[in-house]
Amino acid sequence: MKVTVVGAGNVGATCADVLATREIANEIVLVDIKEGFAEGKALDIWQKAPIIGYDSRTVGVTNDYARTAGSEVVVITSGLPRKPGMSRDDLISTNAGIVKSVTEQVVKHSPNAIIIIVSNPLDVMTYQAHLTSGLDRTKVFGMAGILDTARYRAFLAEALNVSPKDIQAVLMGGHGDTMVPLPRYTTVGGIPVTELIGKEELDAIVQRTAVGGGELVKLMGTSAWYAPGAAAAQMVEAIVRDQRRVFPVCVKLEGEYGMDGVYLGAPVILGKNGIEKVIELQLNDDEKALLETSRGHVKEVMDALDKMNKANA
């Protein structure tokens, strides 16, 4: 069982570290364009194995995709991170080229791999990987919803002074500012969250979650990595171990929620075949309106990418 992580920066290295520590694959290959960078990160993770106690081997390579051949799952984290004052959409031009190039190499050496996109702007980079790979939507999807719901659950756990383990939640729509909160589907130990917290405080938590990435950029001067890396690793685990976990992921909608051809966060069942099923919730009118607003924003950036690709063709 081999898993590849492309991009050995903070997010990619964290993902590889979690995969190794949890022994999710026999071999984890880290790839980066910077000479010796992936090799060093992989070696450091491997040297931790005797301390923590795991058997997964981590291997680093510089731009050698032949070493990734036969990977079952590939996580793509490549691209520029956000800087203060920069929106995710500002990254589209540069990162689309990077994701296209990486995806071509991935498909060449691991044609049967399931591809998970983490690069920003997430929804549109997932679309780019889909266009480049030609793979079915069940095999190419993005990590966003798990991260957004993790932030939401962490903030709720803080406010309620309870364990984050007991909080379950679903968020939909685009990653970040235009995400769609679904308090109706948020529970704490099976109890609806609306019975435990007031609307004003809940709304404030939802708003903080929507700009959660930006909050971290302001604090650190760069994008988050611990939670995004762990979220991607959790998706890999669900696939490799055929757990059939229910997660919100960025997926191409094909008629679900009355939408077609747009990449948005939606709950799915994740297993050995990738997306086993897209779950269609019965949204109320307010939730539908929010999802439509989110769809419009993502589609606008997808259209911008299409124009860019035509100009470069």
Is 142 labelled as part of a ligand binding site? no
Is 12 labelled as part of a ligand binding site? yes
Catalytic residue among 109, 130, 175, 297: 175
Per the DSSP assignment, residues forming a β-bridge with 116 are 75, 141
Is 5 labelled as part of a ligand binding site? no
Is 8 labelled as part of a ligand binding site? yes
Is 184 labelled as part of a ligand binding site? no
**301, 93 in Cβ contact below 8 A?**
no
Q: Which helix (H) or strand (E) is 61 found in, with range?
A: strand 57-62
Is 217 labelled as part of a ligand binding site? no
Active site residue 175: yes
Is 284 labelled as part of a ligand binding site? no
The amino acid sitting at 127 is: Y
**Both tokens assigned to 225:** 């990595």
**179, 148 in Cβ contact below 8 A?**
yes
Long-range contacts of 280-285 (CB under 8 A, 24+ apart): 280/256, 281/170, 281/172, 281/182, 281/185, 283/182, 283/257, 284/184
Is 120 labelled as part of a ligand binding site? yes
- Round to whole Å and give the CA distance between 198 and 43: 49
Is 11 labelled as part of a ligand binding site? yes
Annotated binding site for NAD(+): 7-12, 32, 95, 118-120
Binding-site residues for substrate, in ranges, read 82, 88, 120, 151
Annotated binding site, which residues? 7-12, 32, 82, 88, 95, 118-120, 151
Which residue numbers are catalytic? Answer: 175
